[in-house]
């Protein structure tokens, strides 16, 4: 079931107390000796503090912020703390070229991550996924990458990211299954794998070297697997462009389900 688009972490109470102790906040509060201690003139057989504790209702634990389903601790640790949008693309297995995409947002750290769009059908590299992408391997690079730049052959549909409209996004030819590629780059979002942030997706600078590939984008689906990009239907691309907000430091989290679950 698709989640409709809508406008986009507190620790559990015991952990919060521990954190305060470690940072010295709690230790800076003077400690008062209990009534009844030697030299204090006890008012009775029990301290006022103990009496209050017994008469007060127990404090309720604060629920932990919601995490993104399917992501294990290793993958979650790769998501920057300041990222408040995450486009999660999950492949069935390491060699699969079909995947599912869901956009998550965490506007309120106390609540954590909330799905705001998807799941959407998607394609990835023809040969699946890889931990070490090289040019021509036909696999999509696993990992967490920032999303800062967009563009396309068509006019800006209302993107929040910087958008470069350019005729060089035109493409023709056929895909792996003989499907036409025309229109695939009508809308794109650059995935910041082996590229320079803050420039058009057309830029060919490769910080890791040409042998590590590049030009990995989210783009319009053409009905078949890609050479390493992630593709989703055109109207979903429009939705994504209108939702990814540079003020929320969006990232893409991508890979096969087993890897993302680590």
What are the residue boundaries of the structural domains of the chain, listed by start? 13-55, 73-260
CATH 2.70.98.10 holds for 73-260: no
The reported pLDDT for the residue numbered 43 is: 43
Q: Across-strand partners of 150?
A: 163, 189
For 156-214, the pLDDT digits (tens) are: 999 999 999 999 999 999 999 999 999 999 999 999 999 999 999 999 999 999 999 99
Whole-model pTM?
0.76
**According to the 3-state scheme, what is the secondary structure of 57-99?**
CCCCCCCCCECCCCCCHHHHHHCCCCCCEEEEEEECCCCCCEE
Of 138, 142, 161, residue with least CA distance to 150: 161
Using an 8 Å Cβ cutoff, are 130 and 141 in contact?
Answer: yes
As a whole number of angstroms, the distance between CA 102 and CA 86 comes to 8
Confidence band of 64 (pLDDT split at 50, 70, 90) = confident
Q: Count other C-beta atoms under 10 Å from residue 5's C-beta.
A: 14
Q: Which residue has the tokens 């590229």?
A: 195
Q: Across-strand partners of 105?
A: 85, 114
Using an 8 Å Cβ cutoff, are 260 and 101 in contact?
Answer: no
Cα dihedral 49/52/54/57 (nearest 10) = -130
As a whole number of angstroms, the distance between CA 7 and CA 143 comes to 26
């Amino acid at each position: 079931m698709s989640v409709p688009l809508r406008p986009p972490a507190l620790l559990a109470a015991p952990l919060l107390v521990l954190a305060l102790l470690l940072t010295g906040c709690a230790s800076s509060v003077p400690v008062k000796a209990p009534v009844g201690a030697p030299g204090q003139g006890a008012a009775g057989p029990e301290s006022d503090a103990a009496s209050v504790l017994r008469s007060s209702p127990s404090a309720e634990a604060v629920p932990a912020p919601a995490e993104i389903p399917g992501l294990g601790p290793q993958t979650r640790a790769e998501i920057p703390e300041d990222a408040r949008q995450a486009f999660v693309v999950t492949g069935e297995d390491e060699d699969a070229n079909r995947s599912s995409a869901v956009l998550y947002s965490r506007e309120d750290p106390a609540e954590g991550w909330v799905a705001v769009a998807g799941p959407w059908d998607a394609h990835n590299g023809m040969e699946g996924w890889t931990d070490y992408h090289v040019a021509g391997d036909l696999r999509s690079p696993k990992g967490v990458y920032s999303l800062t730049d967009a563009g396309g052959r068509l006019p800006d549909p209302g993107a929040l990211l910087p958008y470069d409209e350019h005729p060089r996004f035109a493409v023709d030819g056929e895909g792996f299954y003989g499907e036409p590629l025309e229109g695939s780059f009508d809308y794109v979002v650059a995935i910041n794998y082996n590229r320079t942030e803050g420039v058009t997706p057309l830029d060919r600078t490769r910080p890791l070297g040409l042998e590590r590939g590049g030009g990995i984008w989210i783009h319009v689906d053409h009905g078949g697997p890609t050479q390493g990009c992630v593709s989703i239907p055109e109207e979903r691309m429009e939705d994504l462009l209108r939702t990814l907000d540079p003020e929320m430091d969006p990232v893409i989290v991508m890979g096969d389900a087993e890897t993302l679950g680590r």
